[in-house]
Structure 1
Amino acid sequence: MSVTFTLNGTPRTIDADPETPLLWVLRDDLKMTGTKFGCGIAQCGACTVHLDGDPIRSCQTLLEDIEGASITTIEGVNGKAAEAVKAAWSELDVPQCGYCQSGQILAATALLTETPKPTDEDIDYAMDGNVCRCATYARIRKAIHVAADKMEA
């Protein structure tokens, strides 16, 4: 079966089993390895990508579910919120091992796109389910606040 969608702004058609998880299409078929496999059950957030602007877990999103959709990965995320998040992440040295960071950045970007000046509670809610094994949660929260300030400036 062929599935057509937009990936990071570029139209793509993939011939694969429609029940293949999007994560494996990205990593194995398209060689886009920025999106990580973590748990495989949508509980850790390492595989987070945007589907029409909303964060989703690509390990549990089937290829057949993205027909006609727009997918954004860490390789293609851009815009005011994404640039502010990436700058804040770098400025505050957020990553430790870095494995979860593509999912963290995509979740934070979606949050700031919807809520440009989030509270700590907004951040906790939006980032819930994005696990950081190195426990850099305090730096992640601070970086989101810094990114919000950068967007406002």
Structure 2
Amino acid sequence: MTPRRLFRLFAIAEAVTWALLLTGMLLKYAVGVGDWPVTVAGALHGFVFIAYAIVVVVLPVNQRWRAAVVLLAGASAIVPFATIPVEIAFDRRGLLAGAWRRTAGDDPRDRRMRERALRAALARPAVTATLLAVVAAGLFAALLVAGPPGGTDS
């Protein structure tokens, strides 16, 4: 999977879970079917949001994005459906072009610790993907224990 495909996958997943969450809210508040649609869609959206955030932390190292680009990518997940136009704009500007940088080149930035860590992670993609999934699940579990934003309705 290329950096472009990875970012696109999570940008679309984030937008889809926004649609599910908004639909769940509509069902709860306008139709009155109870809390379950928001509970289910909210949990799914929360997990995908965390996964998208992890992608937005890892991908910029490979793509060598400026801080402003990273902030825009992260902020786009907060606004419903904004990840899609951001992904399209990044793709058009070439910010998602290229392969994973698995080997060091002549660029002095390749000697930085985060660059070396990225190459080490890319050397074992299955282990890295599993570790990142565990991190996402751990963050998700911690947030579930903390409770929903704004507290509960009861």
TM-score by length of 2: 0.28
Q: Which has the higher helix share?
A: 2
Tell which has more relative contact order, 1 or 2 (C-alpha 8 A, sep 6+). Answer: 2
Structure with more strand by fraction: 1
Q: What TM-score, normalized to structure 1?
A: 0.29
Q: Pick the structure with greater CA Rg.
A: 2
